[in-house]
Amino acid sequence: MDDDTDDTAAISPIVVVDDTTAFSTSMLIPVDDAIATLEQQIRLIKSAGEIAPNGCWLESGKCHKRKSRQVFYRSSQPIFGGKKSKYVGMEGSGKVAAARDAIARRNELKRLRKQLEILRAAT
């Protein structure tokens, strides 16, 4: 190997990415690749379905004189057309499952965006 050339200058920095869906905790990858991977994951999540609004959660309550339970989006701010709640459906329905999935996608997007912000600040 020739001592006059410095090959390490062309290599971008390497970071550890802790993402259980795509990488093991000990996998080292270049920052540019990590950013591209995170951006791709964000696009996939956005295309997977509805994303729940920020600042809301699901609550369920018993229906009057019934054994079933109703599920609502709840928020501390009026984000649902001037209201703090929005009816989703009856417990166990497909609409409630879709709302839970939407909240999970929102939380995953938030986590990925935070990682992306940290990686971009490092470069």
Entry pTM:
0.72
Q: What is the pLDDT of residues 66-93, one digit of tens each?
A: 888 999 999 999 999 999 999 999 999 9
Domain map of the chain by residue range? Answer: 11-122
**Residue 9 scores a pLDDT above 50:** no
Q: Higher model confidence: residue 16 or residue 95?
A: 95
Q: What is the pLDDT of residues 10-28, one digit of tens each?
A: 444 444 455 444 444 556 6
| Maximum pairwise Cα distance, the chain | 84
